[in-house]
């Protein structure tokens, strides 16, 4: 930087005052851009078959979602899929793969786009896990898109994002070539990790579960962010410049809601099934719904601690097979505990959405 300044000062020395001011203005813009530079990490661009961990990225697996993370030790080429390389070798099918070519590779009904990272759960239900570890404290914008690439099945997998051990997004993939997207801003500490997991999905087997995943993580500097929606707050919505003033509604910009959990569940009689949702302060409400009940199960929601029969922020208590909904105010960066109690054994579908 000092060398740049020295050369620049010698260059403008012969010029008059007005010209110098113009040159100094350009210098200021140049330096501001350097100071405000934001580091962005791209899963596909950074992918390595030689190193694991690979800088901020690690490729591994866990027995189930949220369990101990294990790093893959073995990299190889997929024997029946020309050009596809992967980390794996623990159990059948469990792995994280990459298409390093500039062409689409079609293999056993799966379509691997150029430079696409994919992952697949193991035949015993093991989760494939891509881990990103924060190199420094800061606010990061996380963008992820997951999509089934198995045309024959089609793909049936479950995808989750965890900040350390807390689930911040979970979604079922039940289609071919229909992406599910996540975008959110998080305050992340040095050494914190973000896990992107891939499990069995709704059919609870490993057949046709190859799932494409695209991830970019950007460290934000406030000087890069303007209050583009003019709501008086610099937040994640300002990264959507097409958002109308004082609104979060836009067909290509920000969405008014974020899907945090969307999956099927089962609970035994007299047992609890608990989910977690970490909702940041850019969202004013959390809406929890259970539907498609096969018997009498009950919804309980509470902020900060796990609910029980006597302690809860919401308990619709409809009875029978009727849908149950909780719509609660989100006052800050809150961790919500969502529990389903089995008055009788039954299946259900649960959705959790954050709304602005």
Looking at every residue in the chain, the average pLDDT score rounds to 81
| Range with the poorest average pLDDT among 38-47, 122-131, 137-146, 244-253 | 244-253
Q: What pLDDT was estimated at residue 260? A: 83
pLDDT higher at 4 or 13: 13
d(CA 337, CA 303): 6
CA–CA distance from 154 to each of 107, 149, 150, 177 (Å)? Answer: 14, 8, 5, 9
Q: What pLDDT was estimated at residue 138? A: 83
Fold assignment, 256-355: Jelly Rolls (2.60.120)
* CB contact set of 2 (below 8 Å; sequence gap of 6+): none
Fold match between domain 41-220 and domain 256-355: yes
Per-residue tokens: 173: 């993939």
Per-residue tokens: 327: 């719509």
* CB contact set of 75 (below 8 Å; sequence gap of 6+): 49, 50, 52, 85, 86, 87
Q: Tell me how far the alpha carbon of residue 118 is from its chain's centroid.
A: 15
Q: Where are the domains of the chain?
A: 2-35, 41-220, 256-355
Per-residue tokens: 211: 């799932």
d(CA 195, CA 161): 6
State whether the Cα torsion 341-344-347-349 is positive or negative. negative
Counting residues of the chain whose pLDDT is more than 70, the rounded percentage is: 78
d(CA 292, CA 324): 10
Pairing of strands 157-163, 166-173: antiparallel
pLDDT band at 292 (very low <50, low <70, confident <90, very high): very high
pTM: 0.58
CA–CA distance from 62 to each of 44, 126, 155 (Å)? Answer: 22, 6, 20
The fourth-level CATH superfamily of domain 41-220 is: Galactose-binding domain-like (2.60.120.260)
Fill in the DSSP letter of residue 2: H
pLDDT higher at 206 or 317: 317
**pLDDT tens digits for range 54-71:** 999 999 999 999 899 999
Three-state secondary-structure class, residue 45: helix
State whether the Cα torsion 193-196-202-205 is positive or negative. negative
| Mean pLDDT value of segment 187-210 | 89
Sequential DSSP letters for 227-266: -TT-SS--SGGGG-TTSPTT----SSS--SEEEEEEEEEE
d(CA 155, CA 77): 22
């Amino acid at each position: 930087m000092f060398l740049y300044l020295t050369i620049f000062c010698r260059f403008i020395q012969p010029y008059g005052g007005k010209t110098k001011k113009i040159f100094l203005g350009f210098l200021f813009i140049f330096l501001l851009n350097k100071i405000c530079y934001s580091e962005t990490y791209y899963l596909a661009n950074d992918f390595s078959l030689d190193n694991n961990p690979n800088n901020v990225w690690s490729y591994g697996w866990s027995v189930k979602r949220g369990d101990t993370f294990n790093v893959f030790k073995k990299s190889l080429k997929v024997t029946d899929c020309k050009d596809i390389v992967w980390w794996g070798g623990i159990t059948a099918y469990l792995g994280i793969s990459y298409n390093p070519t500039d062409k689409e590779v079609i293999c056993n009904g799966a379509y691997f786009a150029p430079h696409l990272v994919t992952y697949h759960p193991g035949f015993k239900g093991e989760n494939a896990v891509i881990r990103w570890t924060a190199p420094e404290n800061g606010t990061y914008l996380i963008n992820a898109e997951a999509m089934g690439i198995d045309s024959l099945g089609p793909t049936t997998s479950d995808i989750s994002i965890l900040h350390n051990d807390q689930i911040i997004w979970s979604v079922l993939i039940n289609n071919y070539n229909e992406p599910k997207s996540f975008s959110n801003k998080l305050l992340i500490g040095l050494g914190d990790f973000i896990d992107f997991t891939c499990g069995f999905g709704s059919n609870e087997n490993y057949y046709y579960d190859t799932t494409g995943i695209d991830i970019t993580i950007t460290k934000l500097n406030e000087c890069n962010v303007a209050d583009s929606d003019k709501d008086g707050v610099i937040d994640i919505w300002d990264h959507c410049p097409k958002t109308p003033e004082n609104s979060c509604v836009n067909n290509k910009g920000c969405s008014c809601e974020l899907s945090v959990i969307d999956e099927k569940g089962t609970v035994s009689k007299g047992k609890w099934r608990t989910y977690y949702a970490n909702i940041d302060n850019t969202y004013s409400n959390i809406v929890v719904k259970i539907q498609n009940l096969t018997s009498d199960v009950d919804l309980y929601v509470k902020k900060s601690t796990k609910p029980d029969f006597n302690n809860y922020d919401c308990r619709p208590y409809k009875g029978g097979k009727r849908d149950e909904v909780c719509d609660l105010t989100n006052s800050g960066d809150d961790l919500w505990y969502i529990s389903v109690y089995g008055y009788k054994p039954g299946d259900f579908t649960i959705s959790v959405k954050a709304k602005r």
